């Protein structure tokens, strides 16, 4: 930061921050595997921040959560490569999230929250080095100005429980609109349109500049992406970039690892106790209509495979239902193949993975379809009725509907889970098969404690 014409200048110490300002892309060669893996690791951090904010975590809780997410996901076997991984992953995700306004808005918010928490964790010397690099054109108060305002600054500090300014305290005089969060929280002394910001409050200044620069950079990146990069990299980077923003990052549920087998005789009971709303709805419609369209068959079929329904039982289950509508012969001709295909027994022999919440939410069911996410695709009346049947009501019902109105569909599902099971789910629900597994754990633990 530049302190123009000031007698109270801070000399930037010889400190190298661990935090980058991401001003320009690094001239680094990156292996294609690292390009994707680094981005996925950072995306786990940003998704964790998003979940924390959506669940209403307080600032002090976020200050604890963000470093934990960073340590857990941004490790590297070579400690000297950590800084490069940070920079590479940021610029890859900048490419991923520049492509639509909604993606830009989400990325900007999450990266700004990450930057704010990482800046606060830096040493004072490193913070000053970053401020200098940003070259913010704000003056530090001169000795004379400081003495004239010392009493007012002391009153402001006292009112917010901050230490009283000492003779060597540093304050900056900035236009009040540059620190809207400090002004809104009545945390700064104001005079003639200027806010007087203490050194321990400069995070607000730096974060505002960071957000502004990143916002502009995302727009420029989008122009480059649409004009040249997307076409030039259509056979190499473009498929990775386009897939990353909707990628599921949780455990693989293609093979059941716990509660490893569900039989036909138990399926109605576990559907009632442990299926999430999306799968419960499909299951009930199948029992009711004896038929599901392709999207519903895929969504429910792969889920059932993931919870441990064996191929032979799956064929028997679907045949018993469909035969009532289309007949056994037509089922064998038109539907049995796709069931075997999902289990990797036909075609390319691919072992297909059950759909994640993200994929289900992104689907667009048409007329007569029953797949998709009920929290997103149901009317409010139908959703309330469906949740009521599951035993959700009262305050929880209104909390769920509030999450739905704010498009936090997975949080709405998490609240439903917590209400039904009378247990918390701190990780949030990210996959229907995760819902099933966590439900079974809780129910089996309850059964075990009763015996």
Note the pLDDT of residue 199. 73
User: Based on the domain organization, do 349 and 422 belong to the same domain?
Assistant: yes
Where does residue 90 rank: exposed (0-12), middle (13-18), buried (19+ CB within 10 A)? Answer: buried
**pLDDT tier for residue 93 given thresholds of 50, 70 and 90:** very high
**pLDDT tier for residue 260 given thresholds of 50, 70 and 90:** low
User: Based on the domain organization, do 421 and 314 belong to the same domain?
Assistant: yes
pLDDT at residue 347 tops 80 = no
User: Based on the domain organization, do 86 and 173 belong to the same domain?
Assistant: no
CATH number, domain containing residue 86: 1.20.930.80
**pLDDT tier for residue 178 given thresholds of 50, 70 and 90:** confident
Note the pLDDT of residue 225. 93
Structure tokens at 141: 């108060």
pLDDT at residue 190 tops 90 = no
pLDDT at residue 370 tops 50 = yes
**Overall domain count for the chain:** 3
Please tell me the distance from the alpha carbon of residue 144 to that of residue 86, in angstroms, as a whole number: 43
**pLDDT tier for residue 38 given thresholds of 50, 70 and 90:** very high
User: Over the chain, what is the mean pLDDT?
Assistant: 86
Residue 250, in any domain of the structure: no
Note the pLDDT of residue 258. 53
Residue 182, in any domain of the structure: yes
Across the range 179-191, mean pLDDT stands at 82
Note the pLDDT of residue 200. 73
User: Based on the domain organization, do 58 and 106 belong to the same domain?
Assistant: yes
User: Based on the domain organization, do 171 and 77 belong to the same domain?
Assistant: no
Q: What is the pLDDT of residues 128-172, one digit of tens each?
A: 788 778 777 776 777 788 888 888 888 877 777 776 677 667 777
Please tell me the distance from the alpha carbon of residue 111 to that of residue 99, in angstroms, as a whole number: 16
Identify whether the C-beta of residue 206 lies closer than 8 Å to the C-beta of residue 131: yes
Residue 370, in any domain of the structure: yes
Note the pLDDT of residue 4. 29
Residue 114, in any domain of the structure: yes
Residue recorded with tokens 């909604």: 102
Report how far apart, in Å, the C-alpha atoms of 296 and of each of 206, 267, 344 are.
Answer: 49, 17, 19
> What CA dihedral angle connects 240, 243, 249 and 250, to 10 degrees?
-120
Residue 407, in any domain of the structure: yes
Of residues 110 and 182, more confidence is placed in 110
Q: What is the pLDDT of residues 218-248, one digit of tens each?
A: 999 999 999 999 899 988 889 888 888 877 7
Of residues 260 and 253, more confidence is placed in 253
Across the range 16-20, mean pLDDT stands at 72
Across the range 169-189, mean pLDDT stands at 81
User: Based on the domain organization, do 280 and 336 belong to the same domain?
Assistant: yes
Can you give the residue range of the structural domain that contains 338? 264-450
Across the range 326-330, mean pLDDT stands at 92
User: Based on the domain organization, do 92 and 165 belong to the same domain?
Assistant: no
Q: What is the pLDDT of residues 413-432, one digit of tens each?
A: 999 999 999 999 888 898 99
User: Based on the domain organization, do 446 and 393 belong to the same domain?
Assistant: yes
Identify whether the C-beta of residue 4 lies closer than 8 Å to the C-beta of residue 135: no
Of residues 3 and 341, more confidence is placed in 341
User: Based on the domain organization, do 140 and 115 belong to the same domain?
Assistant: no
Q: Domain boundary at 202, 223, 245, which?
A: 202
Report how far apart, in Å, the C-alpha atoms of 378 and of each of 371, 390, 418 are.
Answer: 11, 15, 21
Q: Per-residue b/e over 335-355, b at no fewer than 16 CB within 10 Å? A: bbeebebbbeeeeeeeeebbb
Residue 245, in any domain of the structure: no
Tell me the chain's radius of gyration from C-alpha atoms. Answer: 27
User: Based on the domain organization, do 297 and 166 belong to the same domain?
Assistant: no
Of residues 193 and 215, more confidence is placed in 215
User: Based on the domain organization, do 445 and 315 belong to the same domain?
Assistant: yes
Residue 294, in any domain of the structure: yes
Note the pLDDT of residue 428. 87
Residue 14, in any domain of the structure: no
User: Based on the domain organization, do 87 and 173 belong to the same domain?
Assistant: no
Phi-psi group of 193: left, alpha or beta (phi > 0 → left; psi -120 to 50 → alpha; rest → beta): left
Across the range 375-386, mean pLDDT stands at 96
Q: What is the pLDDT of residues 287-321, one digit of tens each?
A: 999 999 999 999 999 999 999 999 999 999 999 99
Note the pLDDT of residue 168. 65
Q: Domain boundary at 154, 187, 202, which?
A: 202
Identify whether the C-beta of residue 341 lies closer than 8 Å to the C-beta of residue 418: no
**pLDDT tier for residue 256 given thresholds of 50, 70 and 90:** low
Residue recorded with tokens 């590479």: 88
Q: Domain boundary at 93, 121, 149, which?
A: 121
Across the range 50-64, mean pLDDT stands at 87
Please tell me the distance from the alpha carbon of residue 158 to that of residue 137, in angstroms, as a whole number: 28
pLDDT at residue 259 tops 90 = no
Note the pLDDT of residue 133. 82
Element (H, E) at 284: helix 277-289
pLDDT at residue 1 tops 50 = no
Task: Please state, for a pLDDT cut of 70, what percent of the chain lies above it.
Answer: 91
Note the pLDDT of residue 145. 82
């Amino acid at each position: 930061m530049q302190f123009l014409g000031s007698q109270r200048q801070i000399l930037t110490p010889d400190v190298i921050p661990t935090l980058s300002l991401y001003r320009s892309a690094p001239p680094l060669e990156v292996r294609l595997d690292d390009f994707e893996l680094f981005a996925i690791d950072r995306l786990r951090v940003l998704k964790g921040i998003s979940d924390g904010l959506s669940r209403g975590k307080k600032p002090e809780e976020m200050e604890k959560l963000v470093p934990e997410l960073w340590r857990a996901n941004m490790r590297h076997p070579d400690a000297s490569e950590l800084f490069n991984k940070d920079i590479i992953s940021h610029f890859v995700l900048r490419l991923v999230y520049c492509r639509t306004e909604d993606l830009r808005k989400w990325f900007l918010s999450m990266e700004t929250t990450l930057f704010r928490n990482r800046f606060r964790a830096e040493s004072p010397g490193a913070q000053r080095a970053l401020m200098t690099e940003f070259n913010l054109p704000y003056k530090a108060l001169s000795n004379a100005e400081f003495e004239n305002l010392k009493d007012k600054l002391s009153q402001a500090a006292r009112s917010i429980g901050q230490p009283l300014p000492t003779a060597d305290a540093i304050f900056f005089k900035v236009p009040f609109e540059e620190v809207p969060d400090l002004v809104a929280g009545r945390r700064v002394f104001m005079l003639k349109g200027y806010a007087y910001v203490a050194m321990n409050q400069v995070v607000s200044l730096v974060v505002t500049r960071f957000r502004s620069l990143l916002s502009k950079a995302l727009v420029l990146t989008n122009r480059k992406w649409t004009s040249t990069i997307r076409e030039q990299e259509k056979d190499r980077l473009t498929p990775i970039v386009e897939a990353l923003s909707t990628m599921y990052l949780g455990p693989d549920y293609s093979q059941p690892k716990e509660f490893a087998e569900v039989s036909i005789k138990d399926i109605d009971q576990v559907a009632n106790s442990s299926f999430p709303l999306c799968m419960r709805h499909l299951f009930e419609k199948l029992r009711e209509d004896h038929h599901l369209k392709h999207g519903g068959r895929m969504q429910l079929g792969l889920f059932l495979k993931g919870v441990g329904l064996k191929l032979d039982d799956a064929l028997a289950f679907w045949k018993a239902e469909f035969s009532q509508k289309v007949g056994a012969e037509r089922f064998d001709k038109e539907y049995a193949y796709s069931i075997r295909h999902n289990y990797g027994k036909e075609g390319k022999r691919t072992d297909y993975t059950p759909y994640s919440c993200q994929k289900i939410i992104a689907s667009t069911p048409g007329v007569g379809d029953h797949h998709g996410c009920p929290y997103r695709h149901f009317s409010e009346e139908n959703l309330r009725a469906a949740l009521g049947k599951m035993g959700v009501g009262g305050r929880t019902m209104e909390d769920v509907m509030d999450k739905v109105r704010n498009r936090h569909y997975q949080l709405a599902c998490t609240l439903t889970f917590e209400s039904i099971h009378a247990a918390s789910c701190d990780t949030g629900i990210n996959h229907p098969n995760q819902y099933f597994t966590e439900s079974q754990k809780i129910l089996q633990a309850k059964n075990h404690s009763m015996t």
